[in-house]
Each structure stands twice: as C-alpha cells, then as structure tokens.
Amino acid sequence: MKINYILFLVFFSATIYSNAQIRVTGSVLDNNGDALPGATVSLRAGSIVEGDITDGNGSFAISVENTGTYQLEIRSVGFTTYSQTLNLESGSGFNLGTIGLEEDQRYLQTVEIIGRAQQDYNSDYSFSATKVAIKNREMPQAISSVTKEFISDRQAFQLADAVKAVSSVTSTGNYNHFNIRGITQAEDGQAINGMRTRQYYFLQPITSHIERVEVIKGPSSVTFSSVDPGGTINMVTKKPLAEVRNEVSISTGSFGTIRAAADFTGPLNEEKTLLYRFNTAFQEAQSFRDLVQNNAFLITPSISYLPNSSTALNAEVIYSNGVGNLDRGQPIFGRINGEFDLNSTSTSVNVGASNDFYKSQELMVMTNFKKTFSDNFGFNASYMKQTWTEDLAEHRTENRAAVDIDGNEIPTLAAMRYVEREQFWDSDNINAFFNIDIKNNNVSNILLIGYDGSRWERTLGGGQNTARRYLRNDGSVGNFDPANAADFQTMTVDGVVMPRPNVPHFNLENPSNGIRVTKDYTIGEFAIPANLTSTDGVYIQNQFKIGKFSALLNLRYEWFKDIFDYEGDEQEFKNEAFIPRIGLTYELSKSLSAYATYLEGFQPQTNTVTLSPATEGFFWSASPGNFDPLESDLKEIGLKGEFMNGKVQGNFALFEITQKNVLLGDTYDIENLTARGEQRSRGFEWDVSGYVSPNLQVIASYAYTNAEIIEDDDATLIGERIGGAPQHSANFWSRYDFESNTLRGLGIGFGIQYSGDKYSWYSFSSTDRLLLPEYTVLDGALYYKPENSNMQLILKVNNITNKTYWSGALNQFRLAPGAPRNILATVTYKF
C-alpha cells in the first residue's frame, strides 16, 4: 500500500510540474547540416535549470514557469558548445529555428578515447573492425551494433538480451554463448574494446557499463587474431564525456529481481582536458528455474586525458564479481517409442543441489594511447591486463541416461556427476601501430603497420575433484560394461536391477533438489596443469579511396605457441599462418554503397576445445596443439545505406562461411579425436535501425541461414543442418513517444522475436540430436517521462503471451527453456 501511495505521489507531482507557461523550441544540426540527435540543451537562470535532449530530428522543446533572462547552452560530444542569452516573457513561445554546432577538433578520434555523442539506436562507426575509426558504411563487411539507448529501452541488462536484436545471432542456451551465422562459438570470452578476453561463459555479463555491442560478422582473425568463424561480439565500454551527465536507476520485478545502476561522467578541470566516467551496478536475481541465482556486482572507473589535439590517453578498470548457480539446463526423458517429449519434465527442473554454488571474479585494466606527430603520421597503442578466478561446486548430468544391468538405457533416470573446481587465469594483450594518412582532393589513403600480441596463462594451483561413473565391487569406479557386470555393485529400483552409481541418479519423474551429502562419493582428485599460450602477429592494412571507389587490404602473419603443463613436464606446440583480407566498396549513390569481401580465419585448436563436451579431456590430461588448426574463410557481398538524412541505417548481406578441421570424437577417448570435420554456412541477412519519424525508433532484422555439415565422423550427419542454427530468424523492436498535449511524456515499446526450429548443438551421434520447435515471443513496454522532468519510469513485460519455448539445447539433458511471462519496473533519474 505504501509503495502504491509513493508511486502516485511521484506521478502526480511530475504531472503538476509539467504544466509550464513558456515553451522554447528549436532544432540542432551538425556542421554538415544533418540533424544532431542526443545533444544536451539547457536553460539556466540562477539556480533554475531546465533541459531536454534532441530527438531523431535534432528537435528540442523546453518549458519554464518563470519569466526573465535565461542562458541557453547546447552541448554534444565532439562539438563546440553553443550559447545564447534569451529574454523570456510570460505567455510567449520561442522558436529558435535551426542552430548549427561546429566540430571540435580536439575530440576527433582515431582510437576511442571519449564517449559516443549520439543517443539513439544507431552507431555509424566502429573503432575495432579495422583498429581505427571507420564508418560502418565504408566497411566492406557486415557490422551490426546495439547501442546503450536500445539496451535501456529494452531493459536488456544481460548480453544475450541485447544481441538478440542482431541478424544471424541466436543463443545456444543459458550461458554467454551464441551461434552466429550458423556457426557455434568455440572461443571462451568475447572482445572488449577490440581486445580478446578469456573467461568461462557460464554467467551472463551485465551491460550497465556498455556503450554499444558490435557484432562483426564472419572470421576476423586479421583483426582479432584467433576468433570464431561465425563472427565476433565486441563490447565497447562507456568512455568519459566532456559534459556532465549523471544517471541512476533502480529496477525490481519477477523472480526476486533487484537491480541498481549508476553512471556519472564529466570534466575534472575547467579546460576539459581531464575527463572521468564512473559506472557501477548491482543485481540480485533468482529465476523461474529451480535453485538458479545470478547475483552480480560491477564497478568501472575510467579517465581520459586530452592535453592537446595531438595527444590522448584513456585508462579504465573493470571489476566484476558474479555469485550464483550454474544452470546446466532442463533434462527430459530419453526417447520413448523413438521420440523425445520436450514436455516430459517441467521447464523449471534443474538437476543441481541446494549446496551447489558458482563464484566468478574478474579484473581488467585497459589503457589506450594516441599520439599524432603531424597531420599525416601518428602512433596508437592499447594494453589490457585481465585476471579471472573460478570457484565451483555442482551436480550435473553425465549427458547420458542411467542404464540397467544389461546396459539398456532407463529414460526417466539421468546419470550424474559431481564436480568441485578452482582455477586461475591471467591474460595480457597489447596492440600498437603507426598510421600514415594521405588526403588529396578525392583521393585518401590510410596505411597501418602494427603488432599485437597476447599471452594467456592458466596458473598453478588450480584443481578439479570429480565423482562420476559406477562403483565396482572393490570400491573403485569405472565406466559400466555389461560384459563385466559381475565386477560392479548393484541396486534394485522399482524391480529393475542396475549398477550402483557413484553419484545417485537424478529421478526425472520425482525431482529433488535438497542438500546432497557429497562426503559419501568416491572422488578423484586432479591438479589442473598450468598452461601458457602466446600469440604474436604483425600486420599491414591499407584503406584507400578514389572518388566513389574504396578498398581495404590486410595481410597478417601470426605465430602461436602452446605450452601444456607449463613449468612441469612441458609439451610445446606451434602454429603459424598468413591471414589475408580483401574488401571493395563502391558508392552507388549518396545514400547507398555496395561492397564485396574475402577474408580468412585461423584458430589453433587449443582455443577451440574449452566449450565443447567432446573435448573436455583436454582440460587436464593433454593439449590439442598437435592437431591442425581450424581454418575458415568468408565470401560476402552486400549493400549498406543511410536514409532519411542519415536517421535510418540499413545493410543487406549475402554470405558463405566454410570452416575446416573441426575437432571430432568421443569425450571419453581423446586419443581418437581427429581434426577432419568441415562445415559450411550460406545465407542472407538484413538489419535496419533508426528514427523512421521524429518520435518513432525501430530496430529490425531477418536472417536466412543454411548451415550444413560437409564432413563428419558420422556419415549419417553429412548434409544435415548444424546444431544450434535456425534457418529463419527475425527480430523487431520499436519505441513510440506520443506528442499530443494529452499524452505527452508517454511512450510505448513493442518487440517480436522469432526463431525457426533448430537442432541441439552437441550430440554423440545422429540419433541423439534433439529438434527444438520454432517460436515467436512478444515483449512490450510503457514509458513515462513528464515534460521538464529528468525522471523516466519504465514498465517492461517480457513474453506477453506466456509462450513456452526453448532458446537452445546442448542435448536432451541440457535444454534452455525461455522464461515465462515476467515484469520489470525501472525508475531512472538523470541530473
């Protein structure tokens, strides 16, 4: 009752406050005459300050109650501040017409040191795809971006909620793990600010410190070294701004969710040469899934120093701490009469125990430095230090059904294992290059010559204790073989004689998640061997433009070294490769460009085994470095355009990706693993985003993907679809803000997510593949921002129709059901 009363007072007070008498309107343009959304407009008279943010047309409207002399200021990152004195009289309206802002040369960037100026769904540039700033339209490769404004409107607090708006990107399950263009990720971790990270994918990263998320489609080894062939997800963090912007938010909703976030930025001195940004966020959340929790804490301070137009430095720290339970997914009954039944168990069923836990801690320190020696010559360098620790105790399935004494599967019992694990990872990344820029009339050339390197070490001290398999008569454990059934202890359940498991089976017909007594398990202790990998690469990149034609040419030479059991009984493996890229772009018109590209990818197998159940044996017993590296290539043609005076952006792409030397085999027999699999993905996709009218923003995408297995150990899989990849997928989100006097301040959001059917992404054989049905999920939101108020209220409803669906699956024991209908309420205040 008290909460309802407080909310009523907030709404009532904000409504009364919005009844202003004097209205000041106008529009803001950049130096090219295009509308400038996201500019901060303020009216100040002594202690009275009113303000607005320009919309997609660059328009603003501010109302004040008192007459008098006001100082108008318009600020936008990268532009000089505009100021004007206004004398406002009672009952009058002021239309200031169009106001142009001039570009501030001090803030022109080749590497990203200060924050993004725009405040809409579009991001028209990337700093990571080519190491330096490049407009997405000029990049001969598909890049899709999700901005912080979309993340806020959709209340996408976790990465998976943000990237589902991008074409050809689908979640494989409950983790930080995706299928991009039909290819399932094998690398652990994403890129942050263009630099590779290393951490397990179990807990979703939160997004409160993210400026935008870029999905760079296809293999990008020429830029990022070892990365997945389908694409690279690059998270760009918020950078300091030269103007004061502060924001705090509090959210609460279904499943015991409580979130809080704060974002403060601005200058630290009058000259605005020293800028800061401080982000922090906190989450406590449970789930519709039994036992599952995802509690997180994040703090990210950042400093930028710009003493003059030729020097820039940024330093930032990211500390994140996650505590929860691993959600290994919903297990279902085995095949009955040859068929799986997805509804044989509740979508809430979890095989874990209440004394299971997962703790993850990560610390990153990043620096970026730019020095311009002349108009044509400069130097750029970046460095990242990352440490990551894991502490885990969990009960999980063996990805197999229990068996009776004759070896027949029992479809209602899941074989289990228990794992305790601690490990410690340490990573270093460095990138440095010289740039030579030549511009002459309609000819421009940007040449980069550089080096980057990375070092990842799994340090000494890690270990894993495991209980699994079946108990022998002598007290030891082993895989059950019906031919030697007399060697194993037995038990009888419901009249069925079966070998006694080391860890009790999980009963799918009668689930139980209480405290389990682990001291009775026969546990094997393993020290996780230290491991050291290092990558060194030198590269040359040339981007030149002649009139309407431009080309992007790259060549990289890379050395990779893997030392298994580092500083112990070392095993050393090496790989080397030349990696090319050729991209061409032609401006068909002022608003439309066509492009074509060919590039190759390179992944040492050491970097492909962490996430696959088929290769988990490499975790402690051997290195995959002796196998041929995974090789890939991309052929792509497409169109990129900017429409409605740049307010709407769109791209269309036709692509073919091939990856070879896919590691295949049995998780229990790594001696028989081989690198001879081949997969190919062909398709097309399109993305559109922006203001289609001054008060309507949209972001939409569609993809058709034909991803198939070309070569495999199992001949019955050849020609079949790759697991985890739907043929058809589409996403839509829009926000509409009402302009009429009656509804001013109100907005609505509406979204649709569609995924065609897809197979589970991992299986022992063709008979284990699980087909997940297609689904369509509807989301909605209500926004209320009273006029002249810095507060916004958001009510978000996910899965409006309460659809039961599965976003992905590893196999029949690890399905990822989508959440049922849930609600999230958020209050945001800017000052």
pLDDT digits (tens, 9 = 90+) for 494-521: 899 999 999 999 999 999 999 999 999 9
pLDDT in tens, 786-803: 887 889 999 999 999 999
How does residue 323 score in pLDDT terms, banded at 50, 70 and 90?
very high
Q: State the distance between the two ends of the chain, measured CA to CA, in whole angstroms.
A: 29
Residue 645 tokens read as 């005076």
Can you tell me the mean pLDDT for 330-340?
86
Which pair of tokens denotes residue 670? 């790594």
pLDDT of residue 36: 83
Give the residue-averaged pLDDT of 194-204: 80
Please answer whether residues 751 and 733 qualify as being in contact, where contact means their C-beta atoms are separated by less than 8 angstroms. yes
Q: Please count the residues of the chain.
A: 831
d(CA 181, CA 345): 31
Quickly count helices (H) and strands (E) in the chain: 4, 50
The whole-chain average pLDDT of the chain stands at: 88
How do 191-192 and 231-237 pair as beta strands?
parallel
Q: Which of 687, 734, 680 is nearest to 167 (CA)?
A: 687
> Does residue 675 contact residue 615 with C-beta atoms inside 8 Å?
no
pLDDT of residue 65: 80
Question: Would you list the DSSP string of 246-306?
Answer: EEEEEEEETTTEEEEEEEEEEESSTTS-EEEEEEEEEEE---SSTT--EEEEEEEEEEEEE
Q: Pick from 808, 698, 684: which is nearest to 755 by CA?
A: 808
For residue 3, name the pLDDT band (cuts at 50, 70, 90). very low
Q: Is 387 helix (H, G, I), strand (E, B) or coil?
A: strand
Band of pLDDT at residue 484, cut at 50, 70 and 90: very high
Is 469 within 8 Å of 489 (Cβ atoms)? no
Count CA within 13 A, CB hemisphere, residue 406.
3
Structure tokens at 424: 């410690």
- State the DSSP code for 374: S
Pairing of strands 758-759, 696-711: unpaired
pLDDT reading at 365 higher than 80: yes
Q: In the numeric block, which tokens belong to residue 346?
A: 């509740």
pLDDT at residue 662, rounded to an integer: 85
The amino acid that residue 701 corresponds to is S
Work out the pLDDT band at 127, boundaries 50, 70, 90.
confident
Per-residue model confidence as pLDDT tens digits over 230-289: 999 999 999 998 889 999 999 999 999 999 999 999 999 999 999 999 999 999 999 999
Q: What is the pLDDT of residue 644?
A: 87
Q: CA-to-CA distance for 701 and 754, rounded, in angstroms? A: 10
Q: What is the pLDDT of residues 54-69, one digit of tens each?
A: 887 788 888 888 888 8
- 721-743: pLDDT as tens digits: 988 989 999 999 999 999 888 89
The pLDDT of residue 669 is 56
Q: Which two tokens stand for residue 713?
A: 């150990």
| Tens digits of residue pLDDT in 133-163 | 788 888 999 999 999 999 999 999 988 899 9
> How far is Cα 560 from Cα 225, in angstroms, rounded to an integer?
10
How does 377-414 read in b/e, with b if 16+ C-beta sit within 10 Å?
A: ebebbbbbebebbbebbbbbbbbbbbbbbeeeebbbbb
Q: Is 461 exposed, middle or buried (0-12, 13-18, 19+ CB in 10 A)?
A: exposed
Chain centroid, CA 362 distance in Å: 16
Q: What is the DSSP letter of 130?
A: S
How many Cβ atoms from other residues are within 10 Å of residue 739's Cβ?
A: 14
CA angle in degrees (0–180, nearest 5) for 760-637-590: 130
Helix (H, G, I), strand (E, B) or coil at 33: coil
Let me know: does 434 contact 378? Beta carbons within 8 Å: yes
For residue 517, give both structure tokens: 């007594």
For the segment 563-598, what is each residue's pLDDT rounded down to a tens digit?
A: 988 988 899 999 999 999 999 999 999 899 999 999
Query: Model confidence over 757-768: pLDDT tens digits?
Result: 999 987 656 677
Q: Return the pLDDT at 113.
A: 61
Q: How many CB atoms lie within 10 A of CB 102?
A: 11
What is residue 606's three-state secondary structure? helix
Q: Give the model's confidence band at 619: pLDDT under 50 very low, under 70 low, under 90 confident, else very high.
A: low
State mean pLDDT over 749-756. 97
Residue 449 has pLDDT above 80, yes or no: yes
What is the phi/psi pair of residue 2, to 5°? -65, -40
Q: What's the confidence (pLDDT) of residue 614?
A: 67
Concatenating the DSSP letter of every residue in 443-478 gives: EEEEEEEEEEEEEEEE-TT-EEEEE-SEEBTTS-EE
3-state secondary structure of 307: strand
pLDDT at 19 over 80: no
* Greater model confidence, 506 or 33: 506
**What is d(CA 825, CA 573) in angstroms, rounded to the nearest whole number?**
53
Burial of residue 69, with CB atoms counted within 10 A of its CB: 0-12 exposed, 13-18 middle, 19 or more buried = exposed
62: three-class secondary structure by DSSP: strand
| CA distance linking residue 587 with residue 594, whole number of Å | 6
pLDDT of res. 92: 64
pLDDT of 2 = 44
pTM of the predicted structure, to 2 decimals: 0.86
Q: Residue 741 contacts by C-beta under 8 Å, 6 or more apart in sequence?
A: none
Pairing type for strands 125-126 and 134-135 reads antiparallel
Query: What is the per-residue pLDDT for 115?
Result: 61
- Residues 115 and 89: their CA atoms lie apart, in Å, by 37
pLDDT for residue 829: 95
Nearest one of 157, 84, 151, 166 to 116, comparing CA atoms:
151
- Token digits for 693? 């009218």
pLDDT digits (tens, 9 = 90+) for 530-551: 999 999 999 999 999 998 999 9
Q: Is 41 in contact with 73 (CB distance < 8 Å)?
A: yes
SS3 of residue 162 by DSSP: helix
Of the two residues 609 and 398, the one the predictor is more confident about is 398
SS3 685: strand
**What separation in angstroms does the CA of 654 have from each of 585, 634, 636, 667, 757?**
15, 10, 6, 36, 22
- Name the DSSP letter for residue 819: P
Residues 68-79: what's their mean pLDDT? 81
Amino acid letter, 178: F
Name which of 344, 384, 564 is nearest 457 in CA terms. 564
Whether 111 shows a pLDDT value over 80: the answer reads no
- What pLDDT does 14 receive? 43
Q: Is the pLDDT of residue 8 over 60?
A: no
Q: What is the mean pLDDT of residues 280-307?
A: 94
The CA-atom distances, in angstroms, between 612 and each of 448, 630, 763 are 36, 14, 10
> Is the model's pLDDT at 670 over the cut of 60?
no
Q: What is the DSSP letter of 764?
A: S
